[in-house]
């Protein structure tokens, strides 16, 4: 079994990464934060998705010794000048569990743009995925890719799949929200899916020594 670490506790993110990496490394095992010895997780203090992803990947590889992936993703709403952006996960300031936090974030977003007409509710998801792995003489090599998914924010939450703002987001060319799409269809168009598919061959090459 070939192991790679993802600096996350989000079971849906872990499953998404497992699905995509398995296309390149069939015996891959994606470990999450609950699968390794606990370590102090870094604060996401950078103003960019790439910066926050790199912070998490660097700390992860140092703490676990495993090739490590980390992502920072968020929703950028045109009517809010690109916010929530890097603050997406903590937009409402809620410290409750992930389900309650997601709902609080979505309810706040709906309230903030309730009077914005449909034609001005454009938005896009963006993701930065960082990969850090041990190199010779104690060094670490880093690699970062990006992905985006354009679309719009609707007026009510729909769907039981996905996570975060998926229940409010409809991608361009679609009528279903990201939370209503089957996982493989969402992977094919999502910001994170695009970034993961781009980085997967690189990760596979490192893990298999190619």
Domains of the chain: 2-208 (3.90.950.10)
Asked whether 168 and 157 are in contact (CB, 8 A), the reply is: yes
165 among the known binding-site residues? yes
Residue 142 has pLDDT above 70, yes or no: yes
56 among the known binding-site residues? no
In the set 71, 72, 172, 184, the catalytic residue is 72
158 among the known binding-site residues? no
73 among the known binding-site residues? yes
pLDDT on residue 162: 82
Please name the residue that has the structure tokens 């061959």: 201
Per-residue pLDDT tens for 149-181? 999 999 999 999 888 999 999 999 999 999 999
For residues 62-79, average pLDDT: 96
Rounded to whole angstroms, the Cα distance separating 67 from 199 reads: 13
Per-residue pLDDT tens for 83-134? 999 999 999 986 555 668 899 999 999 999 999 999 999 999 999 999 999 9
**Would you call 72 a catalytic residue per the annotation?**
yes
Please state whether the peptide bond connecting residue 84 to the residue before it is cis, i.e. omega within 30 degrees of 0.
yes
Residue 210 has pLDDT above 60, yes or no: no
User: By percentage, how much of the chain surpasses pLDDT 70?
Assistant: 96
Average pLDDT, the chain: 92
User: By percentage, how much of the chain surpasses pLDDT 90?
Assistant: 72
| pTM, to two decimals | 0.88
Grade residue 48 by pLDDT with cuts at 50, 70 and 90: very high
Q: What per-residue string of b and e applies to 148-169 under the rule 16 or more CB within 10 Å gives b?
A: ebebbbeeebbeebbbbbbbbb
């Amino acid at each position: 079994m070939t192991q790679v670490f993802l600096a996350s506790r989000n079971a849906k993110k872990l499953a998404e990464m497992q699905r995509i990496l398995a296309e390149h490394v069939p015996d891959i095992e994606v470990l999450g934060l609950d699968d390794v010895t606990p370590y102090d997780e870094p604060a996401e203090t950078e103003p960019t998705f790439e910066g926050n992803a790199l912070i998490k990947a660097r700390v992860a590889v140092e703490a676990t010794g495993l090739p490590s992936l980390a992502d920072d993703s968020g929703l950028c709403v045109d009517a809010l000048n690109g916010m929530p952006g890097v603050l997406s996960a903590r937009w409402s300031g809620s410290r409750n569990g992930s389900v309650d936090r997601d709902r609080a974030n979505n309810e706040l977003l709906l309230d903030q743009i309730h009077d914005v007409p449909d034609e001005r509710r454009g938005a896009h998801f963006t993701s930065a995925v960082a990969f850090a792995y041990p190199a010779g003489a104690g060094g670490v090599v880093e690699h970062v890719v990006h992905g985006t998914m354009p679309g719009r924010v609707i007026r009510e939450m729909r769907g039981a799949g996905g996570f975060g703002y998926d229940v409010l987001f409809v991608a361009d060319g679609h009528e279903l929200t990201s939370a209503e799409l089957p996982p493989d269809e969402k992977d094919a168009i999502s910001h994170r899916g695009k970034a993961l598919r781009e980085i997967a061959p690189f990760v596979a090459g490192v893990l298999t020594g190619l």
